[in-house]
Chains A and B, each alone.
Chain A
Amino acid sequence: MLKLDEIQKRLLREVADLHEVPEGAYNIRSNSASAGRQSTANIEIVSKEDVSGLEIRIKPGTKHESVHIPVVMTQSGLKEVVYNDFFIGEGADVVIVAGCGIDNCGNQDSQHDGIHRFFIGKNAKVKYVEKHYGSGDGSGKRILNPGTEVYMEEGSFAEMEMVQIKGVDDTERTTIAELAAGAKLVVRERLMTHGDQRAISTYEVKLNGADSSADVVSRSVARDRSFQKFDAKIVGNAACHGHTECDSIIMDEGRILAVPGLEANNVDAALVHEAAIGKIAGEQLTKLMTLGLTAAEAEEQIINGFLQ
């Protein structure tokens, strides 16, 4: 039975929409220890022996099952590196929900570096959702440095939704992916930084197989004095389609650096990068004010919509 206090439960709701113990396979990590784990007939979760972390093995052909592996941290000063490997069998179709919530009320930094590797078998489909959230009013920072590696076999599909909206002081996110023929990767990143936060997100996607494709889209908002860097590189090594997009709103004294990177090593590689950074358009505020909202309410609606 799970033993979680109210703060831990709140973090779980924020990062994994969990109100109860999830259905299907799960592992809940709380303050560096497993607070509950369940494998299913098709999904096996075991601890790694050499380092901290999990191996999650999903049998070929597993359909419509989910894995939840949220992490919550409430002890100030905790620092951990966790290695989780996902092996997704041929033809499987699963949802994986990760995410990390840190509540730091102390004055020491709390840090969770989650390194996730995905080995996606032929024709398998994965939807991966990762939310990061920080809370607590201590002076200690909340730091999350996720590393994601995605290895996709022929005809596989992965959709990755990565969200960090609130309370994480410092993030360096690195995502690399390698796609075989016919594989398709869709990434939707949503990020909001405030205060003096700093967030760096780096992607390198290699389209190695014919007809592979990647669509990496980041929408972000930088408020107060925060800083963001979005560095997305797509490498086309075959006849492929690649698209990256960085669409950002800056406010106050926020700063954003978007670094487009496209590398085509094959004449049939079609790669596109789009980037747009700007403040909220005045006419958007005006329109919502003519509908009866105050300027502050209008701003909130625009940002909420933008980060939907």
Chain B
Amino acid sequence: MIPTALEFQLLLPVLIIAAGILISLIIEMFSSKSEKILPWFSIALFVSTAYYSLLTVGHERIIFNSMLAAGGTANIFFFVFTFGAAIVTLISIDYIKKIGMYYGEYYILLQSAVLGMMLMANAQDLVMIFMGLEQMSVCFYILAGFNRKKIKSNEAAMKYFLLGAFATGFIVYGIALMYGVAQTMSIPAIANGLLIYSDNIIFVAGLLLFIIGFSFKIAAVPFHMWVPDVYQGSPTSITALMSTGGKAAAFSSLLIIFTPLFATTQSTLFQPYLVVIATLSMLLGSIVAIAQTDLKRMLAYSSISHAGYILIGVAAGSELGIASVIFYLSAYTFMNLGTFGIISMIENKDEGNLSLNDYSGLGNKKPMLAALLAIFMFALAGIPPFAGFFGKYYVFIAAIESNLTWLAIVGVLSSVISIYFYLRVVVVMYFQKDENILNVEDSSPALLGIMISALLVIVMGIAPGSIINLISNFVK
């Protein structure tokens, strides 16, 4: 069937980014000033896509021969990805100049990764999910090793590539088994026959492999081994996107698979699995983060524990659960982007100034940055009135309503543990005297990006009700 003009119009967020990649390639080819043009072009691209996604959020439809979805939750994810990527671009402008790793393809790969994330979030077909995942992952493999003169960056890229390719293998094998039983790749068609298929051991094995593959991508324990090394070794701006957009995209694909599971009576099929990895991720992430002195490594473990909290919402398996997952992901995206933005500003060009001790006395030296970092730390720890608190609140409510009260209790305990290492940063900044001079190059674009994320974190913390209502409208 020939796609109609309306379908193209609804797919416009994806098409804008795709066209933007091609235009960026042409700019990079012919312009000697591409280093100055491309970041601002990318930001314009991302912001316009984010705006258009929110504008058309109400037009929910299955398009392109039921390969893709438009509107609804997909567009909310589009907004998170593109707006997050715009902030990452703002952070990158001065950061990559400081590190000395401008090789032209940086922004193009960034746009390409975002395109992959968007395809993951609006796929209605297992092949589309796989294609989006590969597009995103391959871009991340390259970007992780983008600081190619540094051995750590190379190590991160290699580890990420090997383990990521391994996880992709699980996903493909899972898709193959599901296709073998269902004889279709279309997710709505599989959802229709789910009651029959869920008795089939081959189908369940395929689904389990698929979910295991995505557990790698969302960095849940016991599939988390790559996270600390990759997050620490990658350039900070890339870690920012990897830990937020990449994680959100993997969760969006998981939700696409799980939503039909919840809709049938099979919602408890994978609950034991999800509950176990959620518990392990929360506890291991929070406890091991205490021992970290490198800030990026600490945030890597914190990202593992946040994957655990988000999995509580998935395990709850209710409409509120899904809505809370989306809310948590958007809150987490902006909290983490702001934090990594500040880290990238304080980091010096030899990848120094990353340990906790380097932040001592920051409250006196750079009061603005210290105050912003304190906001993000409070938000990540889940202290009101910031977005992190309500993210956790809705997730725990969803768990309690689905009779998983003990899981909510584990979550609360784990966030109590996590308060220690988040607030330690604040303590070091404000209460530890340090006479060493900290050279922080001012970067107004990065500061703008950090302040926008701080604003979003505060807005989501003050008015969470209206946002969760908006999301709940589109969760079926």
Question: Is chain B a partner of chain A in the same complex?
Answer: no
